[in-house]
Amino acid sequence: MKFGGTSVGNLDKINNVANIVENEVKNNKLIVVLSAMAGVTNNMQNYLDQINSDEEIENDLVLTSGESVTIGLLSAILKKRNIKSIPLLGWQIPILTDRNHKKAKILNINKKRIEEFFKNYDVIVLAGFQGVNVDGYITSLGRGGSDTTAVAIASAIKAERCDIYTDVKGVYSADPNIVPEAKKISKMAFEEMLEMSSTGAKVLHTRSVELAMKNNLVLQVLSSSNKTSGTLIVDEKKLIEKEIVSGVSYSKNESKITISGIPDKPGISANIFGLLADKNINVDMIVQNISQDGISANITFTVPSSEINLATSVLENNLDDIKYKSLKTDENVSKISVIGMGMMSQSGVAQKMFKTLANNSINILAISTSEIKISVLIDERYTNVAVKSLHEAYNLREKKWVQLGRFSKIID
């Protein structure tokens, strides 16, 4: 079980988590992964920003500190209820990661140690979001990374399922905070969830979905304050019905770079994107075209907003090599995506997306697609209108059912 920041946001909420754990531990031994209290990791990041700290070891130590508090409090509450519980930090298992501070990858989890703890305890309360690298220093897994801790540990012990408790009742057809009429999805494929997370639906950390898919570990997203069933995320083969479009997501965390007037010859893209890859910069959407003079090319692409400064300095430092005429950046863009497994075998899905945006006078700046996703880049100001109108266009909102004798009917 994993509980996110809002689910452990104060003592009342931690007591509520203790109730859920107390109920479950009657039947099973449990690993309970916790986040820091909501807002705490942001506060820690603010402190680090104020002192302009670029010390990787110190930064990850400070960033991951909030989780110590919540695991300590929950375990103490459980012990008062006579439940055999032990709070553990990442290094105590250990959750071994690479040296990539701030976005460390888990390399290995020692299953034997977990089994040893289970000889003496019924509940392990484990700090999410943190690991320890091969040099013995604390690392963090990237913001929202507690989900990944939970999935990694569940995979390591070959758990039957990993339950992610959060502040919404499941995964919805769009962020319920933007589209109140969004529908809770009862079952979806790993691939769909992966596309949703990676295009902005922060309800699950992208890497947690990747890992669950790799290990074929069923995930459930559910509410910690409401006892209704959540969303199951399963292998595609277990889906009876594949929705053409199951969700709409958005991300405001991307920025656009346009470089124009590059001499058009083979190898320019390989050169530019090679330089960016060398600096570990993730490039997402790419549009390349020939400029009006027919001899030079323009390339537009997106990078995470957090990497825009690094990306521009890499390009500026290599001006002599790339030989472009101008470089423009735009941080006020937003990526809107529609996702669905059934899209693979259906035509006209993209056309509907483009038409809906056009009807709302929203201009498309770039497009990218996969088998089960279409993404467009637009002006950030139109994010909400775009998400809401696409949600409506694909008819995703919660349907109302009325009883008609023995049958029921949907009213739109």
Task: Candidates 35, 64, 206, 208: give the one binding ligand ADP (CB under 6 A).
Answer: 35
Q: Pick from Mg ion, ligand ADP, ligand ASP, none: which does 301 bind, CB < 5 to 8 A by kind?
A: none
Residue 4 binding ligand ADP, by CB under 6 A: yes
Question: Are the C-beta atoms of 8 and 100 separated by less than 8 Å?
Answer: no
Out of 9, 87, 144, 176, the residue judged to bind ligand ASP by CB under 6 A: 144
For residues 170 and 164, give the distance between their C-alpha atoms in angstroms, rounded to a whole number. Answer: 9
Decide: 32 and 75 in contact? Cβ < 8 Å: no
Q: Which is nearer to ligand ADP, 7 or 298 (CB)?
A: 7
Phi, psi of 243, rounded to the nearest 5 degrees: -70, 145
Cα 268–chain centre separation: 32
Q: Is 292 exposed, middle or buried (0-12, 13-18, 19+ CB in 10 A)?
A: exposed
Measured from the CB atom, the residue of 33 and 185 that comes closer to ligand ASP is 33
| Min separation Cβ 41 and ligand ASP, Å | 3
Distance CA(357)–CA(387), nearest Å, equals 10
How crowded is the C-beta side of 238, counted as CA atoms within 13 Å?
13
Q: Please classify residue 104 by burial: count the beta carbons closer than 10 Å to its beta carbon, then call 0-12 exposed, 13-18 middle and 19+ buried.
A: buried
Residue 200, interface with Mg ion (CB under 5 A)? Answer: no
Q: From the list 3, 117, 121, 129, which residue makes contact with ligand ASP (rule: CB under 6 A)?
A: 129
Cβ 284 to ligand ADP shortest distance, Å: 18
Residue 191 in the binding site for ligand ADP (CB under 6 A)? no
Residue 36 interacting with ligand ASP (CB under 6 A): yes
The interface mask with ligand ASP, positions 64-83, x = CB under 6 A, is --x-----------------
Write out the DSSP string of 223-249. ESS--S--EEEE-GGG-SS--S--EEE
- Smallest gap, in angstroms, from Cβ of residue 49 to ligand ASP? 15
- Binding status of residue 59 toward ligand ASP by CB under 6 A: no
Closest to 303 in 3D by CA, of 258, 254, 336: 254
For ligand ADP, which is the closer residue by CB, 164 or 353? 164
Task: Say how far apart CA 215 and CA 152 lie, in whole Å.
Answer: 9
Yes or no: say if 120 and 27 are a contact pair by the CB < 8 Å rule.
no
x/- mask, ligand ADP, residues 161-190, rule CB under 6 A, reads -----xxx--xx-xxxx-------------
Contact predicate 348/356, CB 8 Å: no
Closer to ligand ADP by Cβ: residue 226 or 271: 226
Instruction: Give residues 2-31 in contact with Mg ion (rule: CB under 5 A).
Output: 4
Piece of the chain touching ligand ADP by CB under 6 A; list 3-11, 155-163, 304-312, 366-374: 3-11
Q: Which is nearer to ligand ADP, 262 or 378 (CB)?
A: 378
Interface pick for ligand ASP out of 41, 246, 296, 302 (rule CB under 6 A): 41
Give the one residue of 1, 9, 32, 35 binding ligand ASP; rule: CB under 6 A. Answer: 35
> How far is CA 170 from its chain centroid?
14
Peptide bond into 266 cis (omega under 30): no
Is 144 a binder of Mg ion (CB under 5 A)? yes
CA-derived radius of gyration, the chain: 23
129 scored as a contact of ligand ADP (CB under 6 A) = no
Do 64 and 138 form a contact (C-beta atoms < 8 A)? yes
Nearest to 289 by CA among 258, 335, 329, 334: 258
**Closer CB to Mg ion, residue 4 or residue 90?**
4
Interface residues toward ligand ADP, by CB under 6 A = 4-7, 35, 144, 166-168, 171-172, 174-177, 201-203, 247
Interface residues toward ligand ASP, by CB under 6 A = 4-5, 35-36, 41, 66, 128-129, 143-146
